[in-house]
Structure 1
Amino acid sequence: MKFTTAALSLLATTLSLAAPTTTSSTTKLSTRQDPTYTGFFLPSIIKTHNVVTGVNTVASNIITSRFDNTENSTLYQIAIPDSAAGRTCHLVLRANQEVSDIVTGTQALDVFRSSFADLFQLNAGNQRDVQLARMRFDESTGLYAFDKTDFPNPAVESFPCPAGLSVRWETVAVGDLDVNVVRQDSVASGGVVPNGLSVGWW
């Protein structure tokens, strides 16, 4: 686990205070085997959301963190093309600590639906809606798995692809100390899981 004081100090300049999301002491991660993906849909835009000021900033990294009285969440907009009609979709989140990603503390994320119409135009606010899942980092795979103890029925583990529409999500830190700084890939290569958040489909 990579944990650097310098990196956390840098993050602290952009984060803001919020009440912690609670977590249970026991964890049951999803043991579901991932399918053979046809491909992945990537965010057309992500923005870092400062929870106290409400300001959104276009980003190339996922910054979903809470520490030292600071907090950021991350907003995503992902277009699902018409070609995905009748297919199954699955939220995928991957981090690579061997390169530059930082995952420490609780090592978890809550996923919420957001009700904004267009993230490109959303310069403030997150418009958080219902919770869809809780995910925890698995160091052995580099993937975040669905935590079915804290959130038994994740709505984004397997769902009909909303062809021709966009999904709009927010990832939120869990607990008092939770740092997830993950490079977001902008291009996917076939069935290879990209870094960051994506929608896998088959």
Structure 2
Amino acid sequence: MILPPEGKKPGYHHGDLRNALLAAGEAELAQSGLAGFSLRKVAARAGVSHSAPAHHFGDLAGLIDALAVRGFDQLLAKMQAREATAPDDAGERLVASGLGYLEFAAAHPALFRLVFGTPMRANSSTDLRAGAARAYDHLAAVVASLPGAPGADDPALRAEVLGYWAQAHGFAELLLSGHICGDAGARIDDQARETLFREAFSRRRSGAATR
């Protein structure tokens, strides 16, 4: 058995402490929520001294901010991964992007709600604003590629993007809250979720195409 260096607890992640703390923060958030969230609990979960998170994130708000950035990056990765499996069709890529959105929400509900529960203000960190912008700009590019959609420089594109975003987000929240379910209140499986989401999206697309 190889013992850790003196003064360091087992679980200390040498050379990657920041990411280890973010992983511990996400796990703590999933288990306890924000109500009991603290730097000390995250440090204990990561197996490091209670001062380690402050060194990397400054304070609790800094850690929460960094977790929200991590959430935006994971959300974008889920969307892109689903799109990579879609047929070469703009509508299918949009549906796939939405399904990636749902997958992220289902797999990381606490982080999903942290991401969209963290107010975006003028003094929000550069990293947080950039993370949000990457996810939004990606969705905007997918929507702009739809036949008949407003172009990237058309102010009308924003309203179109917000419409699809709101639909995916609302669907995700209803799923997480148990308002979309199967027989006798049972949780719907992945296939049923995808079928229902596709139908909802296709109806919106049909309405958009006739406008």
| Bucket of the pairwise TM-score, normalised by the shorter protein | under 0.3
Which structure: greater helix fraction?
2
Max radius of gyration: which structure?
Answer: 2
TM, length-normalised to structure 1: 0.25
Which structure: greater strand fraction?
1
TM, length-normalised to structure 2: 0.24
